[in-house]
Structure 1
Amino acid sequence: FAYVTSPDAKAVTVVDAAARQVVGRIEVGGGPLGIAVAPDGRTVYVADWYAAAVRVIDAASRSVTASIAVGASPSGLAVTPDGRLLLSADRDDDSVSVVDMATRQRKATIKVGTRPFGVTIDAEGKRAYTANVGSDDVSVIDIAEGREIGRVSVGMRPYAVALTLGRGFVTDQYGGTVSVFDLASLKPVKRINVGDYPEGIAATADGKRVIVACWESNTLSIIDATDVKVIGEIRTGDGPRAFGAFLRKTE
């Protein structure tokens, strides 16, 4: 299943990914924005922008079962690969909340750059990366230590980060670019021109390509992650936006 947040409608729509049909709607109230699914697929987490909370949804019953207090204006969410921790980018607190999923309580707060929006966790569950729209940079977080360990300058108004082949790819909304940096050295690699107002970004399952949703140009830009260049473009409907995992993983 795919889960789509609708802030104005105060709901989450459930889509059957195989049939490509809407199969449910979950009323969550507030302003549902960022969304993440637990690794086992049983639980869906939704950031409520207005309530400084994360709503917990049971995927089987399609109902809200709990609410977890986090910081102001939570936006991006990410779950560690083991499912034990949830990270919430709390935009108006300039911080990231770390939530223990066993107790469903916030266990730590990590200060990052100005107005963090998207948050991404690496495949090992060791580091997290926040796109800081207010300071035009990316914060690098050591999850175990619970602190920021680095900062990378990127383009104007970074929205989200994708990770693949030892590099970070960051959408620069106002720049119409994707900034690329090396994950080991945290040094800039390149800045790639894409469509207008790029927001959502994700790597394909094989890690070879990075897909970028460009809101104003109504396109998806396709980047070759090895050669670090745009190799294609797909026309979409009006105003494509994406936040969280928006690519279907296939074997």
Structure 2
Amino acid sequence: MRRFFVLCVFIAGAIVARAESPGYLVFVSNERSADVTVIDGATDAVITTFPVGKRPRGIHATPDGKRLFVTLSGSPRLAPGVDENRAPADKRADGLGVIDAAAHKLIDRWHVGSDPEQFALSKDGKFAFIANEDDASASIVDLDSGQSRGKVKVSEEPEGVGVNPSNGEVYVTCEEKGEVFAIDVDAQRVIAKIETGGRPRSVAFLPDGSRAYVACE
């Protein structure tokens, strides 16, 4: 199996999962077309594109590279200022999609969270921490069982998620009020709120966990 690690970046509305070693694959979630594209990293050739469900967004691989996870949302894409109540969401489509990395296909979908946006994995790859955009919360999901292990309330429009590599604390960016919340996963509670202004979208840590950097729109 080709080995890869995942780095999530926004490129023309897609999110890219990239690999570091020769012979790597790139997995791109395509929010508008409801599928994932697999690209040969050495040749830039498209290998395949396969359906995964409505509005695939965040995408990450497990440390062993055998599975990928992608957040799926049944909430419609709306222009700024449009009343969400005029376009009801398909909550049956919300969830975390499970992808077989070798077979290049969706093998399961777990109904965890509401309108899931971005997410991050724990260092050991056992848990996912998911931002639920329309629920002002973050879910903790067991990746062995596919079951939710808890939910922590944050603020409106949670978006980006990052895990501090030094202590496992989870940071969630919330766009509406320009805030970032730090979560103690074991206690399942917010331990700090940081005001950033703007619309914080994503968060990334230094390798030693001493600093977090937040991109604001």
Q: TM-score range by the shorter chain?
A: 0.7 to 0.9
Which residues of structure 2 form unaligned runs of 5+?
A: 1-24, 75-92
- The corresponding residue for 2:215 is 171
Shift of 1:124: 4.1
- The corresponding residue for 1:21 is 45
Q: Deviations over 1:151-196 (max 9, x none)?
A: 10002111000111511111110xxxxxxxxxxxxxxxxxxxxxxx
Which residues of structure 1 form unaligned runs of 5+?
A: 174-251
Answer whether contact 2:34 2:53 (CA < 8 A) is retained. yes
- The corresponding residue for 2:77 is none
The separation in 1 between residues aligned to 2:53 and 2:146, in whole angstroms, is 20
Would you say how many aligned residue pairs link Structure 1 and Structure 2? 173
Shift of 1:36: 1.2
Tell which has more relative contact order, 1 or 2 (C-alpha 8 A, sep 6+).
2
2:150 equivalent to 1:108: yes
- Distance of aligned partners of 1:123 and 1:54 in 2 relative to their CA distance in 1, 3 Å threshold: same
Question: Which amino acid is the alignment partner of residue 129 of structure 2?
Answer: L
- The corresponding residue for 2:200 is 158
Identity %: 31
Matches within 5 A, 1:182-201: none
Matches within 5 A, 1:223-238: none
Correspondent of 2:98 among 56, 60, 81: 56
The alignment's TM-score, normalised by the length of structure 2, stands at 0.76
- The corresponding residue for 2:119 is 77
The separation in 2 between residues aligned to 1:26 and 1:118, in whole angstroms, is 25
The separation in 1 between residues aligned to 2:34 and 2:101, in whole angstroms, is 17
CA RMSD of aligned residues (A): 1.3
- The corresponding residue for 1:66 is 108
- Distance of aligned partners of 1:15 and 1:71 in 2 relative to their CA distance in 1, 3 Å threshold: same
- The corresponding residue for 1:132 is 174
2:201 equivalent to 1:141: no
Correspondent of 1:44 among 63, 68, 79: 68
- The corresponding residue for 1:30 is 54
The separation in 2 between residues aligned to 1:62 and 1:100, in whole angstroms, is 22
Q: Deviations over 1:45-81 (max 9, x none)?
A: 1110212201000101111111111222100011111
Answer whether contact 2:177 2:197 (CA < 8 A) is retained. no
Shift of 1:125: 5.9
Correspondent of 2:160 among 118, 121, 129: 118
Shift of 1:147: 1.4
